[in-house]
Amino acid sequence: METYKLNRLEITVDRHGADRFAKVSYPIRYGRFAEIKTPDYIFQFNLNGEIKYISGLNGNWPHRAEWLKRTDGNDWIYYSTGGYRGVFSVLGEYYRPCLPYPSNSIWEYDPFADPRIGQALDAVSELQKNLGALPGNRLPVKLKNLCELIAGNNSKPLQSKSDKLHQIIGAEVSVLPPDTRHVDYDVIPVMIADGCLYHCDFCSIQSRQGFRVRSSKDIRQQIRQLQSLYGADLRNYNALFLGNHDALAAGPERICLAATEAFFAFGFETSYIKDPSLFLFGSVDSFLNADKTLFESLNRMPMYTFINIGIESADPATLKNLNKPLDIQKIEAAFQMMLDINRSYPQIEITANFILGDRLPPGHYRSIIELIRNRLSGFYSKGTIYLSPLMSGQNHRGLLQTFVTVKNMSRLPVYLYLIQRL
């Protein structure tokens, strides 16, 4: 780690963060990055010289333990302590991501309305201009190269790179699996299928196109191009998202091909962050139709696999209102299969989503409790249940209370699902 003093800047070229994702109640950074500290801010950059984090100093910030993070989709997300003592109980994380776009959060706090956040974002541009004006021939080589990288990655190239990411994968990632919270949503996306098997009325992120599986050629081309796009910063990633909304329906051949080839192409075995992970979505039907050999193959992979299944409800009236074409027998079978796989395969975790709303038929919550409490003999730490608030919900306080009631009665972990895109 080398640190330089330059005017009023303190620049660290190669700072080392944690090498494993952890649940902690204080700000933490992972992998390798560069850092520039000014009198007012701490700016942190990835290995491509792209801004990644901002935090404020000297009282010019909403809270000293909070920060801004820029995603690969070029969104800024504010990480809040929550202003609510039970954030960890509700989200499974000590910080609440505040998103700059409509989501299904039940909190109304908008940090981006705070002028201090806008000033911090403006300060990034000012810093880049100042670094670009430095006399490079008077600087040590490492410092010169870093300053040039950072100065060249202003808002226009960053947006172009985000556009290129979506162009390579041939889609936008409108929602990530809720389990990606375990890696702070830092995943590399590879699309192995498009569309979904259902077109439910409640879904705000669905694709209207019919379901289709991507070819092996398409998948391999994505992996090659993503390897080039992420460049030097690849070593700061240890997680793969196979998309899009029902990758499980793509079948074992495509899933295993994409997971295996991406693992080696992206260098997860030498990542600065240990314990690689694989994430994908599945529907009830694709889950029930999945062959046992798929789970055996995934269990042997050098990654821990999370598969998130959209169940939504086990109540007939609610399913009808949602226009979800499932019967109770399938849902009960999928839930039991989730429990069985979680007990049988140490490297696989199946999680499930249910909706949370203030205008649902009365049988909806009774049906959830029947599954996640009455059918279990004891508490299980594996197999998280996520409750996803409907966008149409208005009674936020009431939804939070309903969530707490369900959580307290459950014999599986229960958390809120925050829709986050990439």
Q: What's the mean pLDDT in 18-47?
A: 97
How many other C-beta atoms can be found within 10 angstroms of the C-beta atom of residue 53?
18
Cα–Cα distance measured from residue 270 to residue 93, given in angstroms and rounded to the nearest whole number: 27
Indicate whether 63 pLDDT > 70: yes
Domains of the chain: 3-156 (no CATH), 170-416 (3.80.30.20)
Cα–Cα distance measured from residue 150 to residue 164, given in angstroms and rounded to the nearest whole number: 19
Indicate whether 394 pLDDT > 70: no
User: What's the pLDDT at 266?
Assistant: 98
Could you tell me the pLDDT band of residue 7, with boundaries at 50, 70 and 90? Answer: confident
User: What's the pLDDT at 28?
Assistant: 97
User: What's the pLDDT at 135?
Assistant: 86
Tokens for 75? 């969104």
Crossing angle of helices 216-230 and 155-169, rounded to 10°: 160
Indicate whether 104 pLDDT > 90: no
* Cα angle: 55, vertex 78, 51; to 5 degrees: 55
Amino acid identity, position 170: G
Cα–Cα distance measured from residue 305 to residue 276, given in angstroms and rounded to the nearest whole number: 9
Could you tell me the pLDDT band of residue 206, with boundaries at 50, 70 and 90? Answer: low
Using one digit for the tens of pLDDT, what is the confidence trace for 113-152? 999 999 999 999 999 999 999 987 889 999 999 999 999 9
Neighbouring residues of 80: CB distance < 8 A, sequence distance ≥ 6: 62, 63, 66, 95, 96, 97, 98, 109, 111
The percentage of the chain sitting over the pLDDT mark of 90, rounded to a whole number, equals 86
Q: What is the overall mean pLDDT for the chain?
A: 94
User: What's the pLDDT at 105?
Assistant: 82
Closest listed residue to residue 314, CA positions, set 259, 360, 247, 380: 360
Neighbouring residues of 309: CB distance < 8 A, sequence distance ≥ 6: 281, 282, 283, 284, 287, 334, 338, 350, 351, 352, 353
Cα–Cα distance measured from residue 323 to residue 198, given in angstroms and rounded to the nearest whole number: 9
Using one digit for the tens of pLDDT, what is the confidence trace for 248-300? 999 999 999 999 999 999 999 999 999 999 999 999 999 999 999 999 999 99
The percentage of the chain sitting over the pLDDT mark of 70, rounded to a whole number, equals 96
> What Å distances lie between residue 302 and 233, 263, 277, CA to CA?
21, 8, 8
Indicate whether 204 pLDDT > 60: no
Cα–Cα distance measured from residue 195 to residue 212, given in angstroms and rounded to the nearest whole number: 7
Neighbouring residues of 198: CB distance < 8 A, sequence distance ≥ 6: 283, 324, 325, 326
Indicate whether 393 pLDDT > 70: no
Using one digit for the tens of pLDDT, what is the confidence trace for 311-346? 999 999 999 999 999 999 999 999 999 999 999 999
Using one digit for the tens of pLDDT, what is the confidence trace for 65-81? 999 999 999 999 999 99
